[in-house]
Every structure is written in C-alpha cells, then in structure tokens.
Structure 1
C-alpha cells in the first residue's frame, strides 16, 4: 500500500458530536495544506507495508489525548492537543504557521509509531514555507493556432478560497491578452472537484468543460482579443427525455451549482 494522503483536522469522532461547525470550519481553512501534501507525497511512492495509505493529524482537547493508532479504514492517526486560541487568531488570515507546526509535530509523533518518510515530509514542509505557503498549479494549457490564442488554466487553493484562473495569450506575439476568474468556491475539494476538465473552442466561445464533458463556463473570444475578460456559466438546456417537472428540478440543481462556483469570499 502506498502513502497517498496527508491531512490535519479536528478529530472527527469527537467534534462531529461536540462542535461540528468548528470541525468543518477548521477543516476548510486547512484543506489547502492537506491537498498540497497529499499530492506531493504521492511522488515519493512510499510503501507502508500494506498497513495504511493516509496519515491523519487529529486534534483533540488536552484532556482526552490518545496514542497514535491505525484505524480500520487504512488511516494512521496521530493525536495532538488543539490550541483553539491560536487558531481563532489566525483563521481567515494568510498566516499558516500554526497549521504547519501541527503538521510537523503530528508527523514526528506518527513516525514514532510506524515507519513513514519523515525526512521527505519535513523537506516538503520547508519547501512549502519557502514558496510562501502557496498551493498553486497549472491544470491545463492549450493552444488554438487557428484563432492565434493560447489558454492556460491555473488553480489557486488558499486557506480562504479556491479559484480557477484563465489566462489568455496571443500565440503570435506571446503577449497576455486578458486574465480572469473562471470559478471561485469555498476552499474544499467537494465544491470544485469535477467542475473543470478541458478547454475547447466553438464559434465565438472558449469553453471550459467539466468532467462529464459538458460545457461549464463560456468565455467570449472577441472580447478576450480586445483585452476584456467576459465569462458566463453555460445555461441548463431542457431535455426532451425528461418531464417538465424533472427539467425544472435539474435546472434548480444546475443553478445551485453555479451559486457554489460563484463564491464571493464572504467567509464561512
């Protein structure tokens, strides 16, 4: 079994009953870290000996701390005390020092219980700090020579939001024409996974598809060539295969998804 996931969070079993709102809030503010280290550790390809594929740093009140253990769902869990006062001071800010301290201490504790690639993980933490604690990556880059345009989709995953940025360049001049936010959500994969996949061109639109290969976002090409970023969400198209009531229900769901993808950053 290969180590594929790293996570930090308030202990699910305890906080789901005691304060689930706080649990989800903390998880959401730290998902960008869990996501970054999960993607990074997969490159190490560390074999855990068929015992676990995830290391979870779980925070609990000091009065009920536990020893590390391996759960039946292939998770190596290390428990640490939760300093809620420190968390409250930094939540919503760009300061991730407390989160990384939790991660480092938890990994060291886990390494005392089972062999893990501790040196590689600590090096990843140092690299993350040196990079400004940014979790950003290029999702896709595509050239459309027939219209002299290159489109780059970049992901920005932070403690406060996730957003997909489209940068549109002119191939012949190598100049940036325009740039803008395609989607923006609360910083949790559940809100943006499967919401973007490919880049297509059709008529006067650059089309961003989702993982079902359906059009999700349309960007006007003529505006982009003038240096203007103008996008719209693809509308719901009624299907003859559904009843009127079913189409209305699907349209309602479609509009709810658009609302999720149009997060205004107002907090959570």
Structure 2
C-alpha cells in the first residue's frame, strides 16, 4: 500500500469500528483452535501491528511472529508490541517448514503484489501438520471500488473461491462464512456509488455515535461467530482451514 494508507491505518486501527470487528473475529477464531501454551502463531502481513498487539494482550501464552512487505509497516508494528518482526514477502516466507501451529493473514492475498498460488503454497509449507490458517479477505468482485484502488486490492473473494484456492494447496476449510453482514447494505451502496470516484480509501473514523453504533453491530457478529454461526454474506470473507497430510 501507499505510505499514506499505512499512516492512516496506524492512526485509527485501535479505535475504528471495522478494525475492532476484524480483530475480535480473529481473536474469537484463535480461541476456537484450542492452541496449547507456547504454540507458534504467524501474522502473515501484519500491517501496522494492531492485530498482533491485540493477540499478544489476549493470548500472552502464544509465541507470536509477524512480518510485512513494507519497512514502514514493520516500524509501526514495533511501536505497538514487543514481538519478533521481519520485513518479508508472503510470496517467499523466510521461515522453516512446519514452524507454526497457526497462521493468520488479513486482507493480504487480495493484494496486487501477491502471487496467490505462491503465497498459499508457502503458508502451507510453514504450517505444522494439523496446523490452521485464518484468512480474512474482501468479498465479491462487484464490490470493487475506489477503496480497493487506494489499498491496491487486485481481487475479491467468495467463500467458494477461497475454499477452492486453499484446497489446491492441501488446506481444508473447516469454517467458512462472512462478516460485516448487518452493515452490508450501507457498505454496498457506498462502494457502488464511489466506483468512479477519485477519493480516499474508507480508512477513517466516523463521528463517535456512528463509530459506537457500527462497533456494536460488528462485535455482535463476532459473538455469533464465537457461537459457531457462519454468516451467509457480508463485506469480508472469513475462513479457517486446516493443513491436511504431512507435506
């Protein structure tokens, strides 16, 4: 992404409703994996470190590692959490085979600089047998808009598309659904109206009452996900997949 987008992310991800929802979704799914103390977890494309900081706060028993392609993003992450971090590409991970029990990757495979096949193959490689990957991805090609251009999104997904792509690399989806469901009609209208706009990305704070309302909606969805509900549509695809076999 552009440096300005990283700066915006770093400034708002601790308060903005969308990041609050995303982070709670991922934390809920990590808790569902029943990882043992000391389990190794990789944030593949950690951005400016907000999610890593939340995981470290919630699960100090896990051994966390993060990386991002952008040096500035890694620098932002280092300010938020005392976690091993490197600058690297998801297309060629600098980690040993079978090193991690879980990999989390949020809105990275969709990036225009990512070779999806190479990235998924390397995620599968660094996962231990029986390990899990949690992916968050933007949903639906028809939702492509100015926001995607600003953050360098090249592709959007459905659960079916994500399932097929993961299966090609020995990763079997055990949970697949969406989130940002309740606010999806508003999001869809906004994105469709902004398709031809030359404006900014959607990474910004709304007035406090709107942030509070939106936050309540997405945190309720996270609660539902924690109860085992796979939401049928939404602005983002959320999947959990397990590495099958011993390769």
Assess same fold via TM > 0.5: no
Structure with more strand by fraction: 1
Which structure has more relative contact order (CA 8 Å, sep 6+)? It is: 2
Structure with more helix by fraction: 2
State the TM-score, normalizing by the size of structure 2: 0.28
* Bigger CA radius of gyration: 1
